[in-house]
Amino acid sequence: MSYLIAYLLQMLCYAISGNMMINSSANVATSCYDFQWYKCNAKVRKVIWMIMIRAQKPVNVEIPFLEVSLETFLNIIRAGTSYYTLMKSLL
């Protein structure tokens, strides 16, 4: 049982980190726009424009079969408890 708790806590740490990265990447475009880019020279404006274009797509931490986020963690917990309840009712 203690191994299961330690494993779930480790998964939770990864999920929180992934979720923080997703949330932070969503704020990059807004932060660039709020920056006083219009006062900069053309080269800097072009770089900021490229950053804003790239930041429209949020960054996701993915492993081969799923995305690392709190939503995925909760889905894993829900599925695990459902399987446990099913097995307990059958046995």
What tens digit of pLDDT does each residue of 43-62 get? 998 999 999 898 888 888 78
Amino acid letter, 22: I
| pTM for this prediction | 0.73
> Which of the four pLDDT bands, split at 50, 70 and 90, describes residue 40?
confident
Considering its fold, how many domains does the chain have in total?
A: 1
CB contact at 8 A, 25 and 59: yes
Q: Whole-angstrom Cα distance, residue 22 to residue 28?
A: 10
